[in-house]
Structure 1
Amino acid sequence: MSTDDQIARARAELPEPPNPARAIPLARLGQMLMERYTRVGAGAASAEPDLDAAIAAFDESYSYLQFGSPARAKVAALLGNLLAIRHTVHLGPARDRDTGIHMLEEAVGSPVVPPLISAWARLQLGQLYLSRVIEQLRSPDFVREAIYGAGVPTTVDDTDRAIELFHSAAQARTGSSDLVRAAEAFIEMAEVLRDLFRGLNARPMSFDAGGLIRTMEKIQTLSARFQSGGRGLGMTGPMVPLRMEFFDSDGVSVIDPLDRPVAVVEDPGPQAPPPPTRPPVVAKKTDYDDTRAALHALVLTTVGDPDLDVWRAAIELLRPTTPAPSGETVDDLVAMASILADADADGVTAAIDDLLYASALLLRHRRDHADDGIDLAVGTQRLWRAAHSIPDDHAAVVPIIGALGAFVDGGKPPGQPLATVAAPFADRIDTLMANGVVQDAADLVTLHALRCLCRAAGDAATGDDRITLRQAVGAVPLDYPWLAALRTAAEA
């Protein structure tokens, strides 16, 4: 069976989303797409759709896996690697870099990731930290900060962490000479950058423009040793085929033995355990209570009403009439909410965590108009999780479902990403109405319209569904915050 046929079959056999049973099949699908991307030509524009599809498969798989599970660490390694490639080779957005750092930090801190893949993950992770350093070096604010002695401690931290990762990769017993040569070159480059920034911090008010130019020339000379991506940092040497076996949660593989993929990297023999590393950047992610309290405080501060229920404040942030938070605030919201995505919460706590994550992702999607839609897609799924987890008797149940209108792209026909959760959303609304949970007349009309929207966005939608949708939207109260988006979607 050809690779194309295998990919088509893997997609056809996926359970309907959202469903945790998709996690392992999606991981296998992601590996197939990743291998086809490599075969078509890593870095080639024609291969980029497979790269994007592989990232989407791993990203959804990761969202279903519990923190600490072996499969999650493996998915994090592969997802982080691909995000690094998309950022450095295909000039992907800064979000790819930042998410890649988060994923790879989790991967390199896990003992279940095979030593060879862990070593390459360290190499990629170090490159992402250097990419962030280079970005700061190119910033228009850099020269002013250097001249006036503002200092750059974050940049020094990034270079130190990169050097640590490169040394760890070079010392790992992987049998890969390409990896060692690449790590050694990057160590030299990172040390040049570290010395530059440490000098600026130690000697404020003595900015040396000539020294900066000489440093950049040396960095370019070092970069030229290896094949590089468009940012001056990228894959070095041949792309290593990062393949791992994925098993179901009970440890029994559901792949027929004759169909199981084989490793393409020879085993160099007994492997020494990877050298100890410092705790990841997100080492405090298990301190969920403190993170949750800080996130709630930031949401309430952003809205400007400390007495408001935090779930009401999160929905308030999504209203078109609410001023958009600053970019820094949005990034902080996403960072803290993503940490809580790993918390083993349930009930109301889990629902509110998911609502805050969905809101933060949508705010970032609105800010990054040229993004690839990943934030909107993941945010929509997180909103569904919130709607699914919140108890029927909680005051937030109707407002959370009503917030679905905020995730409708009024400029396009209803479809992805709503289609991935349309059917369960519609069923949830039907259940609430059947059980008499929705009593307010305006809420009944609005939720009925959202139910019709979900039916029209589903795979089995008919012309009658779309006619019903237009009629239902016509009855929605004028004060519904996202009425304009519903109307546009209904007419599309």
Structure 2
Amino acid sequence: MSYTTETIDELRARLAGLTGPARSEPLGSLAQKLYQRMMAAPIESPSARADLEEAIRCADEIYGYHREGDPQRPQVAAFLGFLLGFRDSQVRHGGERPRAIALLEEAITQGTFTASYSAILRVVLSTLLITNSEQRLTETMSLSPIDMLAGRRSPAADPNLDRAEQLLRTVSQTAGVSTDVLDMAELMLQMCGLMKTMHGIGANPLDLSAMQGLFMRFADMKKRFDAGGTGVVGLMRTVLEPGAGILDVPRDEVPVIIIEDEGEEGANEPRGLTPAVDPPRPARHDLMRSLVDLLSLEQDGWNETARLLLPDSAAPDVETVDDAIALASEVMESDDAELSEEDTALAHFVYATFLCLRQRADSHGDGTDSELGAQALLAAVRALPAGHSALPVVLRSLGAFLSPGRPLAGLETVAAGFTGRLDAALATGELGADRAAELHALRCACRAAFAAAELRKAIEGLPADYPWPVSLKAATQPLG
């Protein structure tokens, strides 16, 4: 979530006049906005790559302003490590992978995060460790068939896989982690087991029947990844939902970084930081109560919130919108276990709704609020128990987040997630005809957005001598 209304160009202009640690706050806002814009574009596009590179430079500079022991350093390490890991997942050059691993290890061992965000960091770190192990496996499989059949290779322990398994088991045993992340952890644990098996194949003469079973398990895993829509990259797309540490701290809560005198006096004295003292926060259930009271949602929170999204609905005043966004984000970021799944989902729905309302009031905005709102709406759907009566209400509200000018563009980052939920809701056969027609139309829009994104990727791979690229490119344009 963004706590600044400044655009990317405005943040760049402000940074041009700053030096040293004073750059930290605008750098954090710029890195986040660049990340958000990158995720709204095809990942392989030059613009997305440029935004990723600039976001990495921003996060790297912020990290340099935080010393050992700074309470914010693990949050910055987590974000920078994630960005480096994300780049590695796209280009697989491996050059910065060791640093990404070290940063994520620092964040996990020294930082304090919500259960859901900590789980995602562990899964991302496991992905990088498994990628390291893949290189070793490739070298092993390059042995001649004679060496493989004769069992001339001795298996050896792989610390990358051992650490990945440890991280993934921690995720699977952590309460409060979403089903999507748990499923990913389960699949990756299976992958670790398969890779360990393959590392040890050469210890004995090759068993072809065992190899066949191994490949069948790989095929089954691939089907499960494909069924999820986006696999590991899809998980990385949601890593900033609802937020990532320092980049989500409001300006007035950003700790002051103290620059000490480098003169001779006191040069040999130990240097330290005065940690920022955060004011005590109310329990999560109290925060939710405050949110319900602020918006008078006691009787029918789902429908009352949904009504605010209707085109002819009277918009709340600016102060109420800002207060609702801030309070809902507080609820989502808290990890107190007393809040029910339903209240968690309602907080996400409120957050999504008021981001949408703020976007409507800012006709000259860059669309960030609408994009984040759609992601929060998907989080609300995911948090609702299966079969909950409010599920169709939330799914129907997706239409409010589609821009009349470029409706499919706003769906690209969430299309895969919504498609599965819409399929499930329609499959129950319990919806009225009108509601079923609405959800079916939204499902078609999500599928069209996903297909358009895939088509753009396919077009980039066309050979230079393909004679009809113009028609294919035209097919990627928004529908009229």
TM-score for both structures, normalised by structure 1: 0.46
TM-score for both structures, normalised by structure 2: 0.47
